[in-house]
């Protein structure tokens, strides 16, 4: 554990420790080949920047727009608009420009740049930043406010370096686990492409042993019954009561098999309870891509809330297989096109009924379902490990700083 002598810490204005500025307040033209022009939307991961998909600008515009200040290795990028207070530490010598929606912080000799980067992520710093935000058509924070009104606690430089080394090691561990999680998700997506037939195909690219026959194709309405969930919303949630699935869970925390639910309501009359093995698909959501996904309710006596399409399969169709099929490439794309709406999109049972379901014999469906159950279990374990590490980092960010 890092040893800290609190008596050595000073309160310093951010402007006393860093030169703070932003680039010319104009938007340069895009070019096909050039220098990355990064915006806050290009901030990804823990401390990454998506240079590959960033806008590109000419060398001439780079020189013109960065005469006052430009990002360099060891600087901190601070989002002044939209996601105000989000920070990135520049760890490469790569030439790029950051939009004027961000401030560039250049630490002086009195402070370690990465120490400032970590301090600005603490709860106390974020609370202070929130107090300085100008509200209006768009939330923002001014350069003068950053310089004069954001105060950070600073120990001696050797103590800063100890804190930085500790948190950097923790960040590296998080990055490794995040990378494992992303690779597992990529592996899952890859298997979905080869285990299910693609458009206009009758067989998949990857077959299970001893099963070589073509897959059948029928309308889903011939293979299942359809119903709707009962009318509950987030305002009905209580700390203890009957477990319930609300549509938001399905696109904010997507999973194929739902066995445990951590949201509860006081049950009303004429509510819909699961019997086990129902396939549920959101009927409303924020985007067509979000709601064109299915999950299986594996246990009985869970309330199925409003805005849920409920599908009960007949004996020829395995429910886990069906959920995976609906959420797979061509089916998801087909349903996404059917989803209607602007701020909220809708998907109806009538849309689900028209799905052209391609399926093998039940034995193969069960093998496919079991294969993805095991893979999803592995992904869930890796996700939980990653989240625990992120929570551990939040804990240390509160405890390591004054």
Q: Is residue 331 part of a domain?
A: yes
137, 155, 173 - which closes a domain: 155
Closest CA to 75 of 95, 59, 58, 61: 95
Do 165 and 150 fall within a single domain?
no
Does pLDDT of 199 surpass 90?
no
Q: Is residue 30 part of a domain?
A: yes
Q: Please tell me the distance from the alpha carbon of residue 205 to that of residue 38, in angstroms, as a whole number.
A: 40
For residue 282, the cross-strand partners are 308
For residue 237, the cross-strand partners are 265
Q: Is residue 210 part of a domain?
A: no
Q: Please tell me the distance from the alpha carbon of residue 98 to that of residue 78, in angstroms, as a whole number.
A: 10
Do 182 and 273 fall within a single domain?
no
Report the predicted TM-score, pTM, of the whole model to 2 decimal places: 0.82
Do 221 and 94 fall within a single domain?
no
Closest CA to 103 of 90, 92, 94, 119: 90
329, 344, 359 - which closes a domain: 359
Residue 216 in tokens: 């059948």
Contact (CB, 8 A) for 39 and 99: yes
Contact (CB, 8 A) for 297 and 272: no
Residue 325 class from Cβ within 10 Å (0-12 exposed, 13-18 middle, 19+ buried)?
buried
For residue 242, the cross-strand partners are 265
342, 359, 376 - which closes a domain: 359
Do 323 and 401 fall within a single domain?
no
Give 134's DSSP letter. B
Do 130 and 78 fall within a single domain?
yes
pLDDT digits (tens, 9 = 90+) for 129-144: 999 999 877 899 999 9
Q: Is residue 184 part of a domain?
A: yes
Do 267 and 397 fall within a single domain?
no
Do 301 and 270 fall within a single domain?
yes
Do 141 and 178 fall within a single domain?
no
Q: Is residue 75 part of a domain?
A: yes
Check residue 338 and give its pLDDT: 78
Q: Is residue 380 part of a domain?
A: yes
Q: Please tell me the distance from the alpha carbon of residue 276 to that of residue 382, in angstroms, as a whole number.
A: 27
pLDDT digits (tens, 9 = 90+) for 319-375: 999 999 888 767 777 787 777 777 788 888 998 999 888 899 999 999 999 999 999
Residue 356 class from Cβ within 10 Å (0-12 exposed, 13-18 middle, 19+ buried)?
exposed
Residue 121 in tokens: 């992520």
Residue 227 class from Cβ within 10 Å (0-12 exposed, 13-18 middle, 19+ buried)?
middle
Given the structure tokens 């298997």, which residue do they identify? 191
CATH number of the domain that 57 lies in?
3.90.220.20
pLDDT digits (tens, 9 = 90+) for 280-329: 998 887 777 667 788 999 999 999 988 899 999 988 899 999 999 888 76
- Residue 115: CB partners within 8 Å, gap ≥ 6? 154, 160, 161, 163, 164
Do 48 and 130 fall within a single domain?
yes
Do 303 and 397 fall within a single domain?
no
Q: How confident is the model at residue 202 (pLDDT cuts 50, 70, 90)?
A: confident
Do 39 and 52 fall within a single domain?
yes
Contact (CB, 8 A) for 139 and 98: no
Q: Is residue 94 part of a domain?
A: yes
Do 353 and 235 fall within a single domain?
yes
- What is the number of domains present in the chain? 3
Phi, then psi, of 266 in degrees rounded to 5: -85, 120
- Residue 96: CB partners within 8 Å, gap ≥ 6? 35, 36, 37, 38, 49, 51, 54, 71
Q: Is residue 53 part of a domain?
A: yes
Closest CA to 238 of 260, 268, 281: 268
Q: Where in the sequence is the domain holding 175, given as residue range(s)?
A: 156-198+360-402
């Amino acid at each position: 554990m890092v040893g800290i002598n609190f008596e050595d810490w000073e309160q310093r204005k951010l402007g006393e420790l860093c030169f703070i500025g932003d680039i010319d307040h104009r938007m340069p033209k895009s070019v096909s080949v050039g220098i990355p022009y990064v915006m806050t939307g290009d901030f990804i991961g823990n401390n990454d920047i998506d240079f590959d998909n960033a806008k590109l600008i000419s060398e001439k515009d780079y020189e013109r727009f960065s005469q006052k200040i430009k990002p360099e290795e060891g600087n901190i990028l601070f989002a002044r608009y939209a996601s105000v207070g989000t920070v990135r530490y520049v760890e490469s010598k790569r030439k790029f420009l950051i939009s004027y929606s961000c401030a560039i912080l250049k630490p002086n000799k009195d402070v370690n740049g990465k120490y400032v980067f970590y301090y600005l992520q603490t709860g106390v710093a974020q609370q202070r930043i929130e107090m300085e935000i100008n509200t209006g058509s768009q939330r923002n924070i001014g350069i003068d406010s950053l310089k004069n009104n954001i105060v950070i606690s600073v120990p001696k430089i050797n103590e800063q370096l100890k804190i930085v080394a500790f948190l950097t090691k923790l960040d590296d561990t998080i990055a490794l686990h995040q990378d494992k999680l992303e690779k597992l998700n990529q592996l899952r997506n890859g298997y979905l492409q080869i285990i299910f037939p693609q458009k206009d195909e009758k067989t998949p690219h990857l077959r299970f042993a001893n099963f070589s026959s073509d897959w059948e194709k029928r309308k889903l309405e011939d293979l299942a019954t359809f119903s709707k969930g009962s009318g509950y919303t987030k305002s009905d949630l209580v700390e203890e009561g009957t477990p319930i699935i609300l549509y938001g869970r399905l696109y904010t925390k997507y999973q194929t098999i739902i066995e445990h639910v951590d949201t509860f309501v006081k049950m009303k009359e004429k509510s819909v309870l699961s019997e086990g093995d129902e396939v549920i698909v959101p009927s409303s959501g924020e985007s067509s891509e979000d709601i064109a996904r299915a999950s299986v309710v594996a246990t009985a006596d869970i309330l199925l809330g409003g805005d849920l399409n409920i599908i009960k399969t007949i004996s020829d169709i395995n429910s886990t297989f069906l959920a995976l099929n609906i959420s797979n490439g061509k089916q998801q794309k087909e349903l996404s096109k059917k989803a209607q709406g602007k701020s909220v999109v809708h998907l109806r049972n009538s849309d689900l009924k028209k799905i052209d379901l391609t399926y093998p014999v039940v034995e193969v469906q069960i093998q496919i379902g079991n294969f993805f159950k095991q893979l999803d279990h592995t992904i869930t374990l890796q996700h939980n490990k990653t989240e625990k590490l992120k929570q551990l980092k939040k804990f240390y960010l509160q405890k390591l700083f004054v």
